[in-house]
Amino acid sequence: EFDSWAHDEL
């Protein structure tokens, strides 16, 4: 399951 909060970049 893709963790959509994985966007830790600007």
Partner 1 sequence: MNVFRLAGDMSHLLAIIILLLKIWKTRSCAGISGRSQLLFALTYTARYLDLVTNWVSLYNTVMKVFFIATSYATIYLMYLKFKATYDSNHDTFRVEFLLLPVTILALVLNHEFSFMEILWTFSIYLEAVAILPQLFMVSKTGEAESITSHYLFALGSYRLLYIFNWIWRYYTEEYYDLIAIIAGVVQTVLYCDFFYLYFTKVLKGKKLQLPA
Binding site for partner 1 (CB under 8 A): 2, 4-10
The residue written with tokens 């399951």 in the block is 1
Is residue 5 within a helix (H) or strand (E), and if so which, with residue range? none
State in angstroms the smallest separation of the CB of 7 from partner 1. Answer: 6
CB of 6 to partner 1, least distance (A): 8
3-state SS class at 6: helix
- Cα gap 6→10, rounded to integer Å: 12
Cβ 4 to partner 1 shortest distance, Å:
5
